Amino acid sequence: MASSALICDTQPWKDLKAHLEDVKKTHLRDLLSDAERCKSMMVDFDGITLDYSRQRATPQTLGQLYKLAEAAHLKEKINRMFNGERINSTENRSVLHVALRAPRDAVINSDGKNVVPDVWNVLDKIKEFSEKVRSGSWVGATGKPLTNVISVGIGGSFLGPLFVHTALQTDPEASKSAKGRQLRFLANVDPIDVARNITGLNPETTLVVVVSKTFTTAETMLNARTLRAWISKELGPSAVAKHMVAVSTNLKLVEEFGIDPKNAFAFWDWVGGRYSVCSAVGVLPLSLQYGFPVVEKFLKGAASIDQHFYSTPFEKNIPVLLGLLSVWNVSFFGYSARAILPYSQALEKFAPHIQQVSMESNGKGVSIDGKPLPLETGEIDFGEPGTNGQHSFYQLIHQGRVIPCDFIGVVKSQQPVYLEGEVVNNHDELMSNFFAQPDALAYGKTPEQLQQENVSSHLIPHKTFSGNRPSLSLLLASLDSYKVGQLLAIYEHRVAVQGFIWGINSFDQWGVELGKSLATQVRKQLNASRTKGETVQGFNFSTATMLTKYLK
Ligand code: F6P
C-alpha cells in the first residue's frame, strides 16, 4: 500500500487536540448529571452491556473520534483484515484469527483460497482425538487412560489457553465434563516450573501437548525435551508416540522432534501467536479437558463478536468504541496505563492474557510504513480481579495517578452462594463493589463534603478524592464458555482498532527478537565455559563480570 500520512498530522487529530481543552474544563460529576448523554453512551449486544458514560468524553468527542476513524480508514482496514489481505506487511501475512471461529459454511479467503474448510478439518480432528482420549479409547503405553494433560508452550501458546481454562474451571457445564481430569501448563524454562508441573503426576496417565507456532521457541523446545526424557525414562522411548502430541504451523519440525505427524494439529501462518487461542493452540488442550462441545460454544461466542465488529455501525460497535476511547485516553489525555478489573475470580488470568494481546501488538515505535512515530502507542495493561485489587493497588488509582479502568462484571455467578438469613448473597456483595468503584473514581469527594461530615481539618487533604477519573463498565449476563469467547474477541478487536487508528502494524513483534539473539550468545558462552573451560569474552564489563560470577 502507498505510504500514508501520519494520523497525528490529520485535521481530525488536530481538532481533537483543540476539543480536549474544552473537555478538560468539565468534571465527570457534571457529565454524569446529563442523563441524555449517559443514555447515548450505553450499548447492548447479545448479553453484553457496555457503559462508557464515565469516560471523559462528550457526544461531540465521539463525533470527532468517528471522524478520526474515517481519516485512519478504519472501516477499510477492518474489511481488509476480514478479506484476508496481507495487512501484517512486515511478515507478509494475512491476519485471520476470525476464520478460526467462523461457521463451517463461511467463506474467508487467504490468497484466493477459502481457509474455513482447513480450519474445520483440524477442528474435526481435535473433536475425534479428544473424544478418544476422554473416553479412554486412546490409552497410554501401559494401557491406562490419559486423565492428565500438560500443555507446553509460552506467550501466545500459553496465556490465552490458560485464561480460558481458568475462566471455565468453575462454569457448571464445563466443570461437570472435566470431572476426573487435570490440565496443567508448562511455560517457563525455569526448572522450577517443570518440577511444579510434574509433581504428583504419573507419566503413565499423562498426555503432553507441545504447543508452538514456530516449533523453535527455545523455552518450549527445552521443556518439551525435558518432558520427553521424563516419559522415556519411566516408560521407555517408544511410549512417546502415545504420550506426546503437538500443535504447530511447522509440521516438519514436529516430525523431526519425534512426534508422529498423525498426532500433530496444524494451524497457519495467518494466525498470530497472541491471537491463536481459537486455533488448535487452545482448542486441543481445552477440548481434552472440557470436551469439544464446550469449546465449540466458546468459538461461537467469539464469532458473535466478529460479526458484530464487522457489520455494526461504529456508534454501536463495542470493540470500535473501546478502541477509539483508548486512543482518546492514551494519545490525547496522555494516560499511559489501563487497568483491567474483572469482578470475577474466574477471570483472574484475563489481564495477563490481554497484556500480551495489547502490549505485544501496539507497543511500537514506527508507523506501518516504517516512519518514526512522534506519538506513543500502546498502553501499560495490568489488572487483578476485584475485590482483591481494591485491597492492593486501588489507592494509587483513587488518589495517585489517573489510570482509566475497565470494570468487568457478571450478572449471574458461575457458583452462587446463598447464606441462610442473609439477603445480600456473596455475588451481590462482590457486585456492590463493581457498581460502587466507578462512581468513587468519577465523583471523588470534595473538601466541602468532608467538612460537612465534621472531618478534622488536618485530615481533609488526605481524605479528599479529586474524582474525574475515567472508567468504563462491561456487564456480562453470565460467564459460560460462549461469554468467555465474546470477551476475548472484544479485547482482540479493540487492540486492532487502536493499532489501525495509530497507523501501526499490530500484528508483528520484532521487539522480542533482540533479547532472544543476545541470549543465544550467552548460551554459547556458557556452553564453551562449561565444556572447554573458556573464559568469558566478547561481553561488556558488566555482563562479563556477572557471567563470571555465575559460572563460578
Ligand atoms: O516471544 C514472542 C513470541 O514469538 C510470541 O509472539 C509468541 O506467542 C511466543 O513467542 C511463542 O511462540 P511459539 O508459539 O512459536 O513458540
Q: What is the pLDDT of residues 255-298, one digit of tens each?
A: 999 999 999 999 999 999 999 999 999 999 999 999 999 999 99
The verdict on the CB of residue 308 being under 6 Å from ligand 1 is no
Q: How far is the CA of 545 from the centre of ligand 1 (A)?
A: 31
Q: Is the CB of 157 under 6 A from ligand 1?
A: yes
CA–CA gap between residue 258 and residue 31 (Å, rounded) = 63
Ligand 1, residue 157: give the atom nearest the CA. 14
- Separation of 268 CA from ligand 1 center, angstroms? 14
**Average pLDDT, stretch 333-339?**
98
What pLDDT sits at residue 229? 98
Summarised one tens digit per residue, pLDDT across range 224-238 is 999 999 999 999 999
Using the mean position of ligand 1's atoms as its centre, give its distance from the Cα of residue 158 in Å.
9
* Range in 1-15, 392-406, 453-467 with the lowest mean pLDDT: 1-15
Nearest C-alpha to atom 3 of ligand 1 is from which residue?
155
Predicted confidence at residue 423, as pLDDT, reads: 78
Q: What is the mean pLDDT of the chain?
A: 97
Asked if residue 103 has pLDDT above 60, the reply is yes
Closest CA to 312 of 56, 44, 68: 44
- The answer to whether the CB of 223 is under 6 A from ligand 1 is no
Across the range 59-76, mean pLDDT stands at 98
According to the model, what pLDDT value does residue 77 have? 98
Residue whose CA lies nearest to ligand 1 atom number 8 = 156
Residue type, 41: M
pLDDT tens track for 419-474:
888 877 999 999 999 999 999 999 999 999 999 999 999 999 999 999 999 999 99
- Which pLDDT score, from 0 to 100, does residue 421 have? 85
Q: Is 353 in the pocket of ligand 1 (CB under 6 A)?
A: no
Give the H/E segment covering residue 219: helix 218-235
Residue 88 φ/ψ, nearest 5 degrees: -85, 80
pLDDT over 90 for what percent of the chain?
97
Please report the DSSP string for 303-340 in residue order.
HHHHHHHHHS-GGG-HHHHHHHHHHIIIIIS---EEEE
Nearest CA to ligand 1 atom 2: 512
Average pLDDT of 35-62?
A: 98
Spatial contact of 266 and 251, defined as CB atoms under 8 Å apart: yes
Q: Does 272 sit in the ligand 1 pocket, CB within 6 Å?
A: no
- Mutational test site, ligand 1, from 90, 95, 157, max ligand atoms within 8 Å of CB: 157
Query: Three-class SS of residue 402?
Result: coil
Q: How many angstroms does the Cα of residue 154 sit away from the middle of ligand 1? A: 6
Q: Is the CB of 214 within 6 Å of ligand 1?
A: yes
Output the pLDDT for position 1. 44
Residue 2 has pLDDT above 60, yes or no: no
Q: What element of type H or E holds 409?
A: strand 405-410
Average pLDDT over residues 150-158: 98
Question: Residue 165's pLDDT is what?
Answer: 98
Q: What's the pLDDT band for 3 if we cut at 50, 70, 90?
A: low
Residue 422, pLDDT score: 83
Q: Catalytic amino acids?
A: 360, 391, 516
Please give the sequence-ordered ranges of beta strands (E in DSSP) within 134-258, or none if there are none: 148-152, 182-186, 206-211, 244-248
The answer on pLDDT for 34 being more than 70 is: yes
* Structure confidence at residue 418 as a pLDDT band (50, 70, 90): confident
Region 542-546: what's the mean pLDDT? 98
